[in-house]
């Protein structure tokens, strides 16, 4: 297959500007439409995947495009275009999102409050209901596939991503549909999905329940690898997880909603996402569907960049920042090797990075990442100020890492300041 890189033009019109991420055999680039001048996200099968997986990954990319095209909802990422490369590899073009992942928020904060968790649940119930109405089951709902963005009016919205293993009612490819039951993140998979049985929309209700359990408590109801989760979920006399054991302040009404959503038997869960949404709305005294994780609305795009600060070190905690997602590599000193992750936000002072690899705090390292505006990959020395594991008992769980830049070149600082002024938070 063709190996795409930044600078290539796809389909005669999409110029690849920046690497946005890789995973599960796919690559995502920021792509500039040369005619409309719109920034988009272009997804394609990675060139270095094993030959035995190419046909399956291509089929999943086509599936994702068709699933996204089948539903139009503000809580679901919008597909804009698609096509095939010269060698027949499909690609899809989606709206470009700038924001934070729900996984990153949970990792950084530990747990979220009741009102915020209910607001997240209400928006996701609405998005799932739109999917289920047209016969689509997502099958991979988890905080890492939920993106928090601002719309053009400055209102925060949750966007559901990654439909590569979605089950589509009209899909005739039973083989591809079947293998999807064994693909996903085990901790968020329903018992029937773990057992490779037929699943319906109630598998998404279960995954949403697990995600809200994690929002409220900072813990997963069942953790570990596939075999470990399967044994816990399917144990005949296994103890059902309780929200109150981790977060008694959540209250019995909301706890019962979450615990019903993660019932082992599908018939004991909510019959629909809309029914779950109504239960969430009734579970706390002052429910709301809006979130406020991204802070104050961005400054007008014509505003100038802020003036240089006389002492960046003293202002570090007060520095304006902006949500910014891009692959990051932290090069550790000596023989420490490198840690791969993704950024959640950027400021003139540093980066917030989410990764799944051990990393020591209070040391000097180097970080490589693509700049927000130019897309140019840079390397700069950093102090690793702090490391926080979302779940310390889970070695492969997500970690939040705070990086402070050291001796940033003026051109780089000015570029970041410009980006933050356009996109930033208070």
Return the active site residues.
Answer: 140
**Burial 294-322, CB ≥16 within 10 A → b, else e:** beeebbeeeeebeeebeebeeebeebbbb
Among residues 239, 243, 238, which one has the least CA distance to residue 256? 243
Both tokens of 300, joined, read: 């007008």
User: Comparing C-alpha atoms, which of 38, 36, 29 is closest to residue 7?
Assistant: 29
Please report the DSSP string for 238-256 in residue order.
PPPP-HHHH-GGG-HHHHH
Beta-carbon contacts of residue 194 (< 8 Å; ≥ 6 apart): 186, 226, 229, 230, 233, 234
CA distance 306 to 414: 9
Q: What are the residues facing 40 on neighbouring strands?
A: 31, 95
Token pair listed for 217: 């408590």
CA dist 192 and 195 (Å) reads 5
Using CA atoms in the order 374, 376, 382, 387, what is the torsion angle rounded to 10 degrees?
A: 80
Q: 326: which residues sit within 8 A by CB, 6+ positions away?
A: 18, 19, 20, 21, 342, 343, 369, 370, 372
Greatest alpha-carbon span in the chain? 64
Q: How many CB atoms lie within 10 A of CB 36?
A: 10
């Amino acid at each position: 297959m063709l190996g795409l890189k930044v600078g290539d033009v796809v389909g005669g019109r999409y110029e690849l500007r920046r690497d946005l991420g890789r995973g599960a055999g796919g690559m995502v680039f920021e792509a500039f439409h040369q005619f409309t001048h719109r920034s988009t996200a272009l997804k394609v099968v990675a060139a270095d995947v094993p030959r035995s997986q190419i046909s399956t990954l291509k089929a999943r990319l086509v599936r994702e495009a068709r699933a996204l095209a089948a539903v139009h909802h503000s809580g679901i990422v919008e597909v804009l275009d698609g096509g095939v490369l010269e060698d027949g590899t499909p690609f899809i073009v989606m709206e470009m999102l700038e924001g934070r992942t729900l996984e990153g928020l949970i990792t950084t904060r530990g747990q979220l409050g009741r009102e915020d968790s209910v607001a997240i649940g209400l928006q996701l119930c609405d998005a799932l209901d739109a999917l289920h109405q047209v016969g689509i089951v997502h099958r991979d709902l988890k905080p890492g596939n939920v993106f928090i963005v601002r719309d053009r009016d400055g209102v925060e919205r949750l966007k559901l991503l990654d439909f590569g293993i979605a089950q589509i009612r009209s899909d005739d490819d039973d083989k591809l549909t079947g293998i999807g039951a064994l693909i996903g993140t085990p901790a968020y998979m329903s018992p029937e999905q773990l057992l490779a049985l037929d699943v319906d929309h109630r598998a998404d209700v279960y995954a949403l329940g697990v995600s809200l359990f994690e929002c409220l408590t900072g813990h997963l109801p069942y953790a570990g690898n596939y075999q470990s989760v399967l044994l816990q979920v399917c144990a005949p006399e296994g103890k059902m997880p309780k929200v109150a054991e981790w977060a008694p302040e959540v209250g019995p009404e909301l706890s019962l909603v979450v615990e019903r959503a993660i019932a082992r038997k599908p018939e004991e869960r909510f019959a629909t996402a809309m029914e779950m949404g109504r239960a969430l709305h009734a579970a706390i005294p002052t429910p709301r569907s809006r979130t406020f994780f991204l802070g104050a609305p961005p400054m007008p795009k014509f505003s100038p960049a802020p003036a240089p600060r006389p002492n960046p070190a003293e202002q570090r905690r007060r520095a304006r920042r902006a949500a910014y997602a891009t692959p990051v590599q932290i090069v550790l000193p000596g023989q420490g090797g490198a840690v791969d992750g993704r950024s959640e936000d950027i400021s003139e002072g540093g980066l917030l990075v989410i990764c799944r690899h051990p990393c020591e705090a209070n040391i000097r390292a180097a970080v490589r990442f693509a700049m927000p505006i130019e897309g140019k990959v840079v390397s700069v020395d950093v102090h690793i100020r702090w490391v926080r594991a979302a779940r310390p008992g889970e070695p492969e769980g997500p970690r939040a890492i705070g990086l402070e830049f050291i001796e940033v070149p003026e051109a780089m600082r000015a570029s970041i300041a410009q980006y933050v002024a356009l996109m930033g938070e208070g």
